[in-house]
Structures are given as structure tokens and as C-alpha cells.
Copies of this chain bind each other. A is one copy, B any other.
Amino acid sequence: MNQQKLAQLSTDVTGWLISVGEKLRPGVKAIETVDTKSSRNDLVTNEDVAIEDFLEQQIHEHYPEARIVGEENKKSRVQDLDGLVFFVDPIDGTLNFVRKHDCFASMIGVYENGEPVFGAILDVMENDLYWGGPQLGVFCNEEKLPSVDDKPLAEGLIGASWRQLFTNRFNLGTVGYHASGVRILGSAGLEFVQLLHGRHVGYVSTLNPWDIAAGKILAEALGYKTSTVAGQKVNLLHTCDFVVMTPKAMKEFNALTYA
């Protein structure tokens, strides 16, 4: 993508996510006034849909040629990655949003003909915006983040989903023992944030395309490796067993795991 178009895309996407944060943070407090579980779930669905509607509206208005992949519009799921495709996850870490009112993210990943162009993750409650891509590098707000510190498993922590750790999916327990340990955050977006800051050396979880798209762009731009647990290239048209790690940790993971 040419620099002028990319600069505009960056301005647009980061601006939208900043707006999403402003819309969501007051809503988090409103959740506390809703008493029943079913109302709570309704509210979340409403928030999810409202934010996704807002983002889709922006995308359609500013990028009419683009197609959108998101949780709420599964009916129109794209069948290929030709042209400009926006992956939208309005609230990533929904359970944290409902139960903790904390530790959730809003994410957009933009690809052109299947190639990574621009990714952005908003840590909503911290109001920290992570953004960038292969041409721009990666930033936390205005601060440029350094490339991956290529640590082996033994020198870092890995992120995972609790059910997959508990059932030893992918041999995660053994991987955890080879690493310094396992942390469970409950948000793919915030797991990517740990990697962008060099706080974890890897993350393994079964994820949907909109959970992966933005973080994959940012992590790869810093030199992290991504693949399916079986060692295949990630296909953003399908749910997959996803892994992102430092290059050294990825090699060790491949020798330890079973898909």
C-alpha cells in the first residue's frame, strides 16, 4: 500500500478505536446497574453489536471497496481474501467485559490480497492503543516498540486458555513446565499486548480470524513467528489452533506440542 493511503488508513483506524474506547468505558459502569444474568448477556450483545455497527459504518463510508469479517456478520463471511479486507473484533474478551469490567480489547486488522497492512488493538480500560504494521513498525500510543527479544521458553511466560491448559491440549502443560510458567488473561488482544511489550514469549489458543488478525500483524512486524499448532500457515478464513512465539520459543514449542 502506498504511504499516503497507509497514513490515512492508520489515522482512520486508530481514530475509530479511540472512539470505541470512549463509547465503551462509560458502558462498563452501566453494566453494574443491571442485575439479572440474562440482562447482562443482552447488554453485552447490544454493546458488541452497537460497536461493530459503528465500525462497519465507518469502514463502508471511508473504504466502500473493502469487505468486512467480524463476529456479528457471519452470514456474509468472505470466501477469499482478495482486495481490502477488514477484520473487526469490537469486544475481545467478552467474559472479562461482563465479569470483570476490565481486561478486554477492541481490534481491527487490515489485509490487502491476504497480505498484512495495518493492525490496531485498544486495551480499552487502560486506554492504550497498539498500532502499526510491516511498513510502519509498532507503537504503543506514541512510543515505538522494540523488536522481539528472542528468548527461549525457559526465559519467559506463555499465555493460554484455561480449558486447553487444564485438558493438556497441544501438550500445553509440558510447554508450561519448559517455560517459566503459564498465565491466563482471557483476552486474545491482551495476550498479544503482552508479547508486544516482551512480557510473554508466546501465546497458544484456538481462535477465530477476528481474534487473530490485528495481533498477528503487530507481532509479526516485531519479529514474532505465527503458525497453526500443526505448523501450517494461518488461514484467516477459518478458526484455527493458533500459536505466536519468539523464534526460539516457536522451535521448542514445535518439538514439544501435538496438534
Asked if B194 and A155 make an inter-chain contact with CB atoms under 8 angstroms apart, the answer reads no
Asked if A155 and B200 make an inter-chain contact with CB atoms under 8 angstroms apart, the answer reads no
Asked if A102 and B197 make an inter-chain contact with CB atoms under 8 angstroms apart, the answer reads yes
Q: How far is the CB of A174 from chain B (nearest CB, A)?
A: 10
Assembly of this chain: how many copies?
2
Residues of B within 8 A of A200 (CB): 99-100
Distance, CA A156 to CA B40, complexed state (A) = 12
Distance, CA A194 to CA B185, complexed state (A) = 12
Asked if B162 and A186 make an inter-chain contact with CB atoms under 8 angstroms apart, the answer reads no
Number of residues on chain A facing chain B (CB within 8 A): 30
A178 within 8 A of B: no
Residues of B within 8 A of A156 (CB): 99
Residues of B within 8 A of A181 (CB): 95, 162-163, 186
Asked if A99 and B37 make an inter-chain contact with CB atoms under 8 angstroms apart, the answer reads no
A20 within 8 A of B: no
Residue contacts A-B, CB under 8 angstroms, 20 given? A37-B155, A99-B155, A99-B157, A99-B180, A99-B199, A99-B200, A100-B157, A102-B197, A102-B199, A103-B199, A162-B181, A162-B182, A163-B176, A165-B165, A166-B168, A166-B176, A166-B182, A181-B186, A183-B185, A184-B184
